[in-house]
Copies of this chain bind each other. A is one copy, B any other.
Amino acid sequence: MTGYPLPPGSTIGIVGGGQLGRMLALAAARLGFRVAVLANAAGSPAGQVSAVEIVGRYDDPDAIARLAAVSDVLTFEFENVPASALARLEPGRIAPPGRALAISQDRFEEKTFLNAHGLETTAFAAIDTAADIAPALARFGAPALLKTRREGYDGKGQVWVHAASEADAAFAAIGARPAILEAKAPFVRELSVIAARGRDGAAAAYPIGENRHAGGILRTTRAPATVEPGEQADALRIATTLLHALDYVGVIGVELFQLADGALLVNEFAPRVHNTGHWTLDGCEVDQFEQHIRAVAGWPLGPTHALAQVEMTNLLGDEAAYWAALADDPTARLWLYGKTDAAPGRKMGHVNRLAPLGRA
């Protein structure tokens, strides 16, 4: 039986060997923890900076069991770990809790859960067959976004539907799988809030970030975003409601749509550290990765205020080839993920550019 808070020297097991795992491992090291990772190939971004790298499939309960055997607590860096792979673990051995993972894995369940807890989303409908599309469009209008209920990220597995006549083609385009149709949110800005909840039930949120996507992939986050005090409070209320409703432990990323009247809708949440929180690495005393490790290890949460104004820019694919120019730019704090294959759109690193607070 693991006792919390975990003392330094304990081993944090991370399911996933990518850049989020890498930055979690770096944060864990700072606090004196050992790290073990489960990666799908040797020499993974996270494995390069961890004491133990287990190579295996994320959906293999045996691989998870091998990771658990050398770890005092488990966490994960991505939300597509099947619940079945975690079923053998005692509940308290993994954080965030499996229930948050399960809800986030199904877009219909996720939005239903949000609405049930008073958190507004755009209108949506479950789509089990192409025939479900027309009635949903009739209810909340076109265009609407058809997404698979499960999996898909960074814009994959989704297609716009402009009229009921496109229903069959759209449903085929996403693989004729269980889906959700979402009304187009008339948003003016994409925002996000990175928040955390400790094992003691305390919650804290970082200042809101403002995000810009292109082709479904995050390009930049500017934080703290210029928002009204009421909007920051609103984001905090949303995050806190969600954290407590999920009996959550760890960092959560909540993507928000802001409407013209300032109201915030929840787009989706990710039960993990989040790309839109990378600005905290250089903008806060305790970044989202340390915050997550603190929560998972049962430590108190750290402060979340911003020390600087940050613009985070993802380096995608061969943009990482500009490392030399970025290294030469005194305003650029460079983070590279140790990936060798710069496939188009692949997240290779990011840059944080700092300015004094208040100078957006």
- Decide: A5 near B49, CB < 8 A? Known: A303-B330, A336-B30: no
The reply to whether A323 and B32 contact each other, CB–CB distance below 8 Å, is yes
* Interface flags, A327-360, vs B, CB<8A=1, else 0: 1101001111110100000000100001000000
Contact of A338 among B9, B26, B335 (CB under 8 A): B9
The reply to whether B29 and A48 contact each other, CB–CB distance below 8 Å, is yes
Q: Which residues of B contact A285 (CB under 8 A)?
A: 282, 333, 354
Q: Nearest CB to that of A337 among chain B residues?
A: B32
Q: Is there a chain B Cβ closer than 8 Å to A220's Cβ?
A: no
- Decide: A324 near B48, CB < 8 A? Known: A30-B336, A354-B285: no
The reply to whether A32 and B299 contact each other, CB–CB distance below 8 Å, is no
| Total residues of chain A contacting the partner, CB 8 A | 45
Q: Which residues of B contact A335 (CB under 8 A)?
A: 30
A8 to B7, CA, bound (A): 34
Q: Is there a chain B Cβ closer than 8 Å to A302's Cβ?
A: yes
A180 to B47, CA, bound (A): 47
Q: How far is the CB of A313 from chain B (nearest CB, A)?
A: 16
Q: Which residues of B contact A338 (CB under 8 A)?
A: 8-9, 29, 32-34
Q: Is there a chain B Cβ closer than 8 Å to A233's Cβ?
A: no
The reply to whether A8 and B330 contact each other, CB–CB distance below 8 Å, is no
Q: Which residues of B contact A294 (CB under 8 A)?
A: 327
* Interface flags, A20-47, vs B, CB<8A=1, else 0: 0010011001111111000000010001
The reply to whether A31 and B302 contact each other, CB–CB distance below 8 Å, is no
Q: Is there a chain B Cβ closer than 8 Å to A320's Cβ?
A: yes
* Interface flags, A247-266, vs B, CB<8A=1, else 0: 00000000000000000000
A9 to B47, CA, bound (A): 14
- Decide: A330 near B302, CB < 8 A? Known: A9-B340, A336-B30: yes
The reply to whether B49 and A334 contact each other, CB–CB distance below 8 Å, is no
Q: Which residues of B contact A320 (CB under 8 A)?
A: 8, 32
Q: Is there a chain B Cβ closer than 8 Å to A159's Cβ?
A: no
- Decide: A327 near B307, CB < 8 A? Known: A26-B30, A29-B26: no
The reply to whether A26 and B5 contact each other, CB–CB distance below 8 Å, is no
Q: Is there a chain B Cβ closer than 8 Å to A82's Cβ?
A: no
Q: How far is the CB of A95 from chain B (nearest CB, A)?
A: 17
The reply to whether A327 and B30 contact each other, CB–CB distance below 8 Å, is no
Q: Is there a chain B Cβ closer than 8 Å to A51's Cβ?
A: yes
The reply to whether B31 and A334 contact each other, CB–CB distance below 8 Å, is yes
Contact of A51 among B48, B282, B349 (CB under 8 A): B48
A110 to B308, CA, bound (A): 42
The reply to whether B323 and A300 contact each other, CB–CB distance below 8 Å, is no
Q: Is there a chain B Cβ closer than 8 Å to A50's Cβ?
A: yes
The reply to whether B48 and A8 contact each other, CB–CB distance below 8 Å, is no
Q: Which residues of A contact B (CB under 8 A)?
A: 5, 7-9, 22, 25-26, 29-35, 43, 47-51, 282, 285-286, 294, 299-300, 302-303, 307-308, 320, 323-324, 327-328, 330, 333-338, 340, 349, 354
Chain A to chain B: the 3 pairs with minimum beta-carbon distance, closest first: A32-B336, A48-B51, A299-B327
Pairs across A and B, CB under 8 Å, 17 listed: A7-B323, A9-B338, A25-B49, A26-B26, A26-B29, A29-B48, A32-B323, A32-B336, A32-B349, A33-B338, A34-B338, A48-B50, A49-B50, A299-B328, A303-B330, A307-B307, A307-B308
